[in-house]
Amino acid sequence: MEEQYRGIVSNIRKLGWLQWKKMFFLMLLLVITVIAISSSLPMNENQSSDILRDFENNLPEIDTQPILANNFFIASIMMIPIFGLAIGVMVLQTTGIFIAATGISVDIPGIFLLLSLLVFPFTWLEFISYAAAMTQSVFLILGLSRKNLKKELMRTIFLLITIFIMLLIAAFIETILIYLV
């Protein structure tokens, strides 16, 4: 068993994580920046009401499984080479706009509402998952161009499992907090 563990650790080390980590932190900054800018957008109460009504019709059921399914689906799409980055930015922008609309409905600036969400671990787990997915999108493109796709597919599988676990924990925490409020 220990020998098998060493083999797994050895394979993970071969994936070249140093460059990946640098890109990940840039993507995490992008995630936070896009949501922060979008949550700061001005809108009136009518726009806010329309946005919230549209979101209520499309939001998943408030339970761990639907929240996980929704977030994991989004993260998986973000991993798609080329398109994943564009879709990721659009989803993040939409999230920021939703935060801005929610802020208006409770008479709090959207950016302050975003800052208050940053105290919850589920927010960070989701942001980290999305940044990891978008980072891997870039590395899948690099893997294709460098003819090193096998290595990137191995990393993708590892990251999909890791992202799934992080989003499962996030969905569980988010569900508990929603029911407590």
Residue 113 lies in domain: 28-35+61-180
The pTM (predicted TM-score) of the whole model is 0.87
* 146 within some domain: yes
39-63: per-residue pLDDT in tens? 999 988 888 888 888 877 776 667 8
Question: What average pLDDT does range 171-179 have in this prediction?
Answer: 92
Is 88 exposed, middle or buried (CB count within 10 Å of its CB: 0-12, 13-18, 19+)? buried
* 147 within some domain: yes
* 18 within some domain: no
* 100 within some domain: yes
* 132 within some domain: yes
Largest CA-CA distance found in the chain, in angstroms, rounded: 62
* 133 within some domain: yes
Whole-angstrom Cα distance, residue 155 to residue 143?
A: 11
120-136: per-residue pLDDT in tens? 999 999 999 999 999 99
Specify the DSSP class assigned to residue 44: -
* 67 within some domain: yes
Number of domains in the chain: 1
Return the number of other C-beta atoms located less than 10 Å from residue 49's C-beta. Answer: 14
pLDDT band at 23; cut points 50, 70, 90: very high
The larger pLDDT score, comparing residue 146 to residue 121, is at: 121
CB-side neighbour CA atoms (13 Å) of 46: 0
* 55 within some domain: no
Range among 3-7, 57-61, 103-107 with highest mean pLDDT value: 103-107
> What is the model's pLDDT at position 98?
93
Vertex 43 angle, CA 41 and 47, to 5°: 130
Sign for the CA dihedral angle at 47, 50, 54, 55 comes to positive
